[in-house]
Amino acid sequence: AALIVGGHTFGKTHGAGPADLVGPEPEAAPLEQMGLGWKSSYGTGTGKDAITSGIEVVWTNSPTKWDNSFLEILYGYEWELTKSPAGAWQYTAKDGAGAGTIPDPFGGPGRSPTML
């Protein structure tokens, strides 16, 4: 786990909707879209409607702070395999454990812990 902690201490992944609404990878996109990430036709295509990897995960309860909460959450729960809104496989804390402890990055109700 130590090898992935740094990259998973901050932020989230994006899998808000069906993967077939994601455009080509940035390098294969038209010139005007290159360097801007994946273009999505889901909702606004940005923010809460963003789709990149298809996995919809916020790793920690403090996604803008450098701390050890990623490891505390990773080892603090039992996990079950579930699907994201985009249909990608990811893990969610079993039996609703930790419900509401992960902040919604867009101001909605809290989430249950999720992992890749």
**28-86 pLDDT per residue, tens:** 888 888 777 778 888 988 888 888 777 788 878 887 778 888 888 889 999 999 998 88
Number of domains in the chain: 1
How many angstroms separate the Cα of 51 from the Cα of each of 15, 64, 73, 86?
A: 5, 20, 24, 8
pLDDT in the model for residue 13: 76
CA atoms within 13 A on the CB side of 23: 16
Domain encompassing residue 39: 2-115
Indicate whether 19 pLDDT > 90: no
Read off the CATH number of the domain in which 36 is found. 1.10.420.10
Residue 38's nearest CA partner among 25, 48, 20 is: 25
pLDDT of 3 strictly over 70:
no
Rounded to two decimals, what is the model's pTM?
0.71
